[in-house]
Amino acid sequence: MPSHTETKKGGLAIVGLGPGRREYMTPRALKVIALADYVIGNALYLDPLEPLLTGKTVIRSSMGKEVERAQQAIDLACSHAVAIVSGGDAGVYGMAGIVLEVLEHSGADIEVEVIPGVTAANAAASRVGSPLSGDFAVISLSDLLTPLEVIEQRLDAMFSIGIPVVLYNPKSRGRPHNFSLAIEHARKYLGPETPVAIVRNALRDDEEVIITTLAGVENVENAVDMHTTVIIGGKESRIWRMGEDVKGIITPRGYHHKYVY
């Protein structure tokens, strides 16, 4: 798809910024931001981009105003190069879905490009070895847009088939109990030794990583907040050790059934 931003006509780029540090952004994301007239997003994501924003009009918006932000981005994109940014991947609990829905509804004829980013599941997994080597599921514990009973059904379904489950939005002030609820569901199907990784601010300067088990997770529950991604291993997952040191989690893909190593 030819990009609006290269021809300097109007158009909209929906950009995933990755988990935090600049070096984890894609060259494509950097390029469309460099070419944009307007950059729109949450202050949390825009502030670290500051050196890239000189000479651009920056629109900082707050959480909960996503529909207005999408509409504004579309209006501006009719005549300007606009980049609307989300942390991680813009299509994973980010702005891409709502922007495309509003665009479809508005009937505006503008060029649009979705630019992928490293999502929190991949960022967190990379800090604890290889916990997501095969099939896995991603579930958000935020019940702002999805009813809690639906979230619980999804947790049950995924834990019951024994694949690793990555929890986004595990806890916030508004819903402190959803995380313990998710752990209760996991315990119905998985043993106490099942490894659990708690990764806070993955690939950001104040990163924290904890490796524990389903049995021990209560002791470190305070480390879980809205900047955290939690990986609950599946039936095959195990703690990865080097000597005495716990390094992370491995979920074998099954090579050991076929090869000797």
Query: Which residue shows structure tokens 């502030």?
Result: 47
124 contributes a contact to ligand SAH by CB under 6 A: yes
Q: Name which of residues 79 to 98 contact ligand SAH (CB under 6 A).
A: 86-89, 92-94
Q: Name which of residues 142 to 181 contact ligand SAH (CB under 6 A).
A: 168-170
- Distance (Å) of CA 154 to CA 127, 134, 186, 233: 26, 19, 11, 16
- Minimum separation from the CB atom of position 252 to ligand SAH (A): 25
Nearer to ligand SAH, 37 or 207 (CB): 207
Both tokens of 119, joined, read 């999502």
**Which residue from 212, 213, 166, 219 is spatially nearest to 191, judged by alpha carbons?**
213
132 contributes a contact to ligand SAH by CB under 6 A: no
Compute the Cα dihedral for 120, 125, 131, 133 and give only its sign.
Answer: positive
Residues 31-60, one symbol each (x = binds ligand SAH by CB under 6 A, - = not), give: ------------------------------
- Minimum separation from the CB atom of position 117 to ligand SAH (A): 7
Q: Kind and range of the H or E element at 256?
A: helix 255-258
For ligand SAH (CB under 6 A), the number of binding residues is: 25
Among 133, 228, 237, 251, binds ligand SAH (CB under 6 A): 228
- Minimum separation from the CB atom of position 67 to ligand SAH (A): 17
Q: Cα separation of 254 and 114, whole Å?
A: 34
Helix 148-160 × helix 178-189 angle, to 10°: 30
Query: Which segment (31-39, 97-105, 223-231, 252-260) binds ligand SAH by CB under 6 A?
Result: 223-231
- Minimum separation from the CB atom of position 241 to ligand SAH (A): 24
Both tokens of 106, joined, read 């508005």
Q: Cα separation of 132 and 163, whole Å?
A: 9
DSSP conformation class of 18: B
240 contributes a contact to ligand SAH by CB under 6 A: no
Could you list the residues that contact ligand SAH (CB under 6 A)? 19-20, 86-89, 92-94, 119-120, 123-124, 168-170, 199, 201-204, 226-229
